[in-house]
Amino acid sequence: MQVKVLAFGVLKDLLGTATAEIELLAGSRVGDLLRILEQSTSNLRMETSVWQSLAVAVNREYSSAATELRDGDEVALLPPVSGGDNDGVGGRDAH
Amino acid sequence: MLIEIVDTPIEPGSIVAAAKAGSDGAVCIFDGIVRDNTRGRQTLYLDYEAYREMALEQMRRLAAEAVEQFGVRDVALVHRLGRLYVGETSVLVVVASAHRGAAFDACRWLIDTLKKTVPIWKRETFADGAVWADGEPFPEHLAAHSAGAEG
């Protein structure tokens, strides 16, 4: 089966793309997808913290690593959000 | 309830005026604006982006929850995307209520919760570089790696 992956914010820059179609085994869960992405980007010097701190939305609903995926799902990788005013925020230098 | 994500300047005056009704005794407003510095670095502008459909749905739910939880009469939530310069409004929260206590409480809860849960991000460009703002950690129950969530 195939899912559509969307990346936002710093994850979009780190992965080098905003959208990707990913082929998965039937019965795969969000956690399986994250492991695949983490392995495929291990040469990108992405800090582990990026993977530890993100949230995942499946079809625009917050989901957990245990959420089972279905063919055609839209899976969004969400770094910690930073909407609103710029009150006391820091950040990592972009490239 | 006015819940919007916009690409053009937010005009607080007209939104606040439209939020008032005869039964209200208080309107509490949070006008979030772009500050000219972060930790001593001079800010030139901010670029906001969103997972638009999900962000709008999350904002709708927050507004409905504020009405239910605090008993306020009406809520307006407007967030702007794109490039914003110093002094411009990025987010506007308006809460109309019979009494000020509930209006203050709901307004504070709305902006604090929006900043933790609504999928919007900002990239800050300084005179000497640019960063994606770190953002606030997700509440434990929303994080993908939350305890007990591993399948």
Q: Is residue B32 in a domain? A: yes
> What ipTM was reported for this prediction?
0.90
The arithmetic mean of pLDDT across residues A67-84, rounded, is 96
CB contact under 8 A, A86 and B90: yes
Nearest-angstrom CA–CA distance, B10 and A86 = 16
For residue B108, the SS3 value is helix
Nearest-angstrom CA–CA distance, A7 and A79 = 9
Spatial neighbors of B104 by CB under 8 A, at least 6 apart, are: B28
CB contact under 8 A, B51 and A57: yes
Would you identify the CATH topology of the domain A2-78? Ubiquitin-like (UB roll) (3.10.20)
Q: Is residue B146 in a domain? A: no
Give me the helix-helix angle, B100-117 and B52-70, nearest 10°: 150
pLDDT the model gives residue B151: 36
pLDDT the model gives residue B138: 92
Chain B: closest CA distance from residue A43 (Å): 21
The pLDDT-based confidence of A87 (bands split at 50, 70, 90) is confident
Q: Is residue B147 in a domain? A: no
Tell me the CA end-to-end span of chain B in Å, nearest whole number.
39
Which CATH number is B56's domain given?
Answer: 3.90.1170.40
- Can you give the residue range of the structural domain that contains B94? 2-133
How many structural domains compose chain B?
1
Please give the residue that has the higher pLDDT: either A56 or A51. A56
CB contact under 8 A, A84 and B91: yes
Nearest-angstrom CA–CA distance, B57 and B48 = 18
CB pairs under 8 A between A and B: 157
Cα angle, residue A37 at apex, residues B137 and A46 outer, rounded to 5°: 60
A54 chain-B contacts, CB cut-off 8 A = 138, 143-144
The arithmetic mean of pLDDT across residues A61-88, rounded, is 93
> What pTM was computed for the model?
0.92
CB of B144 within 8 A of CB of B132? no
Q: Scanning every residue of chain A, which has its alpha carbon at the shortest distance from the alpha carbon of B50? A: A8
Which among A10, A62, A76 has the least Cβ separation from residue B142? A62
pLDDT digits (tens, 9 = 90+) for A35-48: 998 888 776 666 66
- Retrieve residue B25's tokens: 């005794």
Average pLDDT value over all residues in chain A? 88
Q: Is residue B94 in a domain? A: yes
Q: Which residues of chain B have pLDDT under 70?
A: 146-151
Could you tell me how far CA B51 lies from the centroid of its own chain? 14
Domain boundaries, chain A: 2-78
Which residues make beta-bridge pairs with A23? A2
- Retrieve residue A21's tokens: 């179609």
